[in-house]
Structure 1
Amino acid sequence: MSFTGRLAGKVAVITGGSSGIGRAVCRLFAQEGASVAVLDRDKIGAKETCASLSNHHGNRHCFVHMDVSSEDDVVACVKSVEGEIGKSTILVNAAGITRDQFLSKMSGKQFDDVIAVNLKGSFLMTREFVRAFTAEEPGSIVNIASIVGKTGNIGQANYTASKAGVIGMTKTMSLELARKNIRCNAVLPGFIKTPMTDAVPEEVIKKVLKAIPMQRQGHPGEIANACLFLASEESSYITGTALEVTGGL
């Protein structure tokens, strides 16, 4: 992809950057000129992502080993990023986990773990981003939700609850933060080929593909493109939206 500089001079913080959608977002934002902070509790994966990022016109990158569900980690991370590459004006909350199980068999810990990372993690990161933000230039927050937050999905009561929560939280955040010159939007991926979906049994994949009008899985880069649009000034009058990237699912 050629360099267009849509994020030149920006500092972007991206959680879940060690793999999948988060890694794709990190790479695309760096290609577009942003200095990128790669955040993840997978230290090795985050370091690999950071080492792979493009440098354009002096942009710099860093990785932070942290857990988005830990309030202490989040507070320390925001300060660390500012010290290394500057104040951020873009936040992408892409960290997410699954602990799939049928409702009757799901443990309280399986439920709590998913909510803690997917929902509470997005809340904590956004809260600290907002506290550190100055309205000198526009800010943009992009929360990665999921289409199953609208439709539900068998065996994912915890995951769908967390993603439905992200959608609702995004709506409220957009109302509160508009006066601070910060936009907040959500991206709702469909069935995207990532390490998370690679663990899905083949027969389940075939069943899902039949329900997708475009008859294929999406790619992380296609989600990253949506994030780039919402992070850039091209979407300067868009806030509070939930953008579905699903192949029609």
Structure 2
Amino acid sequence: MNEIIQLDPTDLGLALGIIGVAIALSRFSNLELEGQFIIAAGRSILQLLVVGYVIAFIFALNNPLAVLGLLGLMMMIASIVARNRIGQKIKGLLPIVGGSLVVSTVLTLGYVLALIIKPDRWYDPQYLIPLTGMILGNAMNSASLAGERLSSVIEQNRSSIETHLCLGATSYQAISSYQKEAIRASLIPTLNQMMVVGLVSLPGMFTGQVLAGGDPLNAASYQILILFMIAFTNLLTAILITEGVYRRFFNANTQLV
């Protein structure tokens, strides 16, 4: 297969024309999204170029501490973003979010690297960084959806929950159905993607390997692995997040606060 065609700064400049058309369409349709498009495009360019240089530097170092440092930074940012989306009014939420993301990500990566990919070095940045980025980004979204959904439902159904508590139910029994609802809602995007992958959408891992001239069947195998990793990580993250979030709504006497 042919090697991937390299994009130079001129090509990236032409790519900006696509966003320019989007901005023009927004203005023509009076959507008032022009500013958001400009900010989003600027952040995308800056963030991706910076991360490209950082990852190239880490690849050159090939040092476990440098790899773990980058992954730690990614984890911290993901935890803060997910916490903010769920709600900053819930006390002690950041450690719950961070712990949930760390546990689910480490368990998934440990299984995949030890039993499936088996790289020569466990910290090989070629595998560890992109795999972490893919599953962590999805786990962050799952955490945000599950946590925000559960906290909103609890606030909206306080009287029903208090009635269950008065009738002798435990705090878990009082919110069990809401927790399941929140977990299911957070997994809808993941399951939808798995249902139509290859038929409607071609995900990033598959597309990237094919563009790079890789074997399409090997690319499909890696994409299957990624989808299964994301599904498990998102489910485990949603379970851990909802367990932690609902407990913040009750005191030591099982009273709704």
TM-score normalised by L of structure 1:
0.28
Structure possessing the higher relative contact order (Cα contacts under 8 Å, 6 or more residues apart): 2
**Larger Cα Rg: Structure 1 or Structure 2?**
2
Kindly indicate which of the two structures has a greater share of residues assigned to helix. Answer: 2
TM-score normalised by L of structure 2:
0.27
Kindly indicate which of the two structures has a greater share of residues assigned to strand. Answer: 1
